[in-house]
Amino acid sequence: MSGPNLAVEIMQNMPSASVIASESEPLRHAVQSALHSAFFRVFGSDDVTGVELGGALKNIYAIAMGMASAYNVGENTKALILTRALAEMSRFGVAYGANPLTFLGLSGVGDLYATCNSPLSRNYRIGNMLGKGTNLDTAIKKLGQTAEGVNTIAQVHDKAKQIGIYMPITHALHSVIFDGQAPLGVALHLMEVGFRSDVEFVMPHDVSNEALEDSLNDDTEDK
């Protein structure tokens, strides 16, 4: 079960929704019936992997957005982060057997939006502190709660490298948090390379662009 479910807002009876994923239709209906209320709606999905990954991966990009907010970025930049984050999430999900369309739902773009745009988000707050120069250990102590996105960055960075998934935002965050690179320099590098299509899984695979992109990345790593 996952979705844009900031606990404080649910407790305040602000209209919210979530998605329950199971291969069992009777189970989905049972959960929907049990949790439905005037202020809380539950949708169904049979893509367990996609819903699970949406709930985990979005924490990576909440850290990125919190970090970006420390630099007072504009709305264009926020929209750029959100849409490219969604592309990374869907690429990673498909590699592990998820349906890419799941990431257009509540557990994908819904949870991503809520987590990336609210100071109620633990991962957003961690990213914001890191962007302002606070070291990771101090930021975690100040938060006083678990920011699961930090560990998720480490895990997804390694998995993506192992099986060859293009996830530049995740790799950039790993460089900042675990390798001590300057956030602004890493962010500027992200703007310099890349020739991908705008929407994942829509355009045919462009070998020439992919090869050019890989070449640019290899050149940068060599430097």
Check residue 199 and give its pLDDT: 78
> Phi then psi for 44, rounded to 5 degrees?
-115, 155
Check residue 79 and give its pLDDT: 95
| Catalytically active residues, by annotation | 58
- Does any domain span residue 211? no
- Does any domain span residue 108? yes
Check residue 53 and give its pLDDT: 97
pLDDT in tens, 115-152: 998 888 889 999 999 998 888 889 888 888 777 889 99
Tally of domains within the chain: 1
- Does any domain span residue 125? yes
The pLDDT-based confidence of 205 (bands split at 50, 70, 90) is low
The pLDDT-based confidence of 219 (bands split at 50, 70, 90) is very low
Residue range(s) defining the domain that contains residue 81 = 48-192
CA dist 168 and 69 (Å) reads 19
- Reference 191, options 82, 117, 80; nearest CA is 80
pLDDT in tens, 99-116: 999 999 999 999 999 999
Q: What is the pTM of this model?
A: 0.85
DSSP state of 108: I
pLDDT in tens, 71-103: 999 999 999 999 999 999 999 999 999 999 999
Structure tokens at 2: 């996952």
- Does any domain span residue 65? yes
End-to-end distance of the chain based on CA atoms, in angstroms? Answer: 44
105-136 CB burial, b ≥16 within 10 A, e <16? bbbbbbbbbbbbbbeebbbbbbbbbbbeebee
- Does any domain span residue 4? no
47-82 CB burial, b ≥16 within 10 A, e <16? beebbbbbbbbbbbbbbbbbbbbbeebeeebeeebb
The proportion of the chain whose per-residue pLDDT surpasses 70, expressed as a percent, equals 89
- Does any domain span residue 204? no
Check residue 204 and give its pLDDT: 62
Check residue 118 and give its pLDDT: 84
- Does any domain span residue 182? yes
- Does any domain span residue 37? no
pLDDT in tens, 51-69: 999 999 999 999 999 999 9
CATH number for position 186 = 1.10.1040.10
> Whole-number mean pLDDT of the chain?
87
